Amino acid sequence: RNAKYLRYDYYIEYETYRFPINQNWNQDKNLQETANALDNAFFAEKLRVSCMMLSHQALYKKATYDYGLLQPILEYVESKKLFLIPAIGAYYYAFRALTERDKKEYYEQLEQIILHYDAVFPLNELGELYLLALNYCIYWINKDSTEYRNKAFLLYKNGFEKAILLDNGLVSRIRFFNAVSSAIKINNFDWAEKFIIEFGPKLEESHRESSIHFSRARLYFEKKQYKEAQQM
């Protein structure tokens, strides 16, 4: 489940504790369960916000953030193996991957969660996780990694086919270009063509025609169909 679920889990445990009208203190209480549920909800939310802060810092270099309790939380999550809870593990591995890029095992765990536990998260939150994963892939693509070109393509393919990378049914111009580029870079021209046909109409109308023509031109150029590319 996602962080919102964990938060409601805490509320239920707390209400269960408060429910008896006549408190009998000589019997077991669910206080440990309540405390654990509160911790899990907080850890998931804290790690998610920390990843958002990290992403913003990468785009806006002047941004400076105090991550507060993050370091002891990371250590506690490790010691208690709380990364096995997908809502915690996804953001734990995302943060580790983006701050320790050479340790590819963190990305591998993130990828496993978002590709195999996608039903756990609502689409908008899953979209955030896909973008975090793509940011990691881009780092290695810029270092000419064929492996991460393939991984990025898989994320774009899965993300669009499951509507994860759409915003209110629309595809942003940048994501559209990036998806086409990702397919072209691994010579998957058929998928790029199919993607342009299927998702071109989902672009914002003001950018739709020019974006489709530009993407088709690039695709034809890479296929050495220069006449068609020039027409586009």
Instruction: List pLDDT tens digits, range 99-130.
Output: 999 999 999 999 999 989 888 899 989 999 99
Q: What is the pLDDT of residue 120?
A: 85
Q: What is the pLDDT of residue 157?
A: 97
> Which whole number is the average pLDDT over 215-229?
96
φ/ψ of residue 48, rounded to 5: -65, -50
**Residues comprising the chain, all counted:** 232
Give yes or no for residue 216 having a pLDDT over 90.
yes
The rounded percent of the chain whose pLDDT value lies above 70 is 96
Please tell me whether the overall predicted TM-score, pTM, comes out greater than 0.85 for this model. Answer: yes
Measure the CA–CA gap between 36 and 121, rounded to whole angstroms. 21
Give yes or no for residue 21 having a pLDDT over 60.
no
Q: 32 is written with which tokens?
A: 């440990």
Q: What is the mean pLDDT of the chain?
A: 93
Separation in Å, CA 119 to CA 24, 27, 88, 155, 162: 41, 38, 15, 15, 11
Give yes or no for residue 140 having a pLDDT over 90.
yes
Burial class (CB within 10 angstroms; exposed 0-12, middle 13-18, buried 19+) of 81:
exposed
> Which whole number is the average pLDDT over 149-177?
95
Centre a 10 Å sphere on the Cβ of residue 63 and count the other Cβ atoms it contains: 11
Confidence of residue 61 (pLDDT cuts 50, 70, 90): confident
Instruction: List pLDDT tens digits, range 126-139.
Output: 999 999 999 999 99
Burial class (CB within 10 angstroms; exposed 0-12, middle 13-18, buried 19+) of 170:
middle
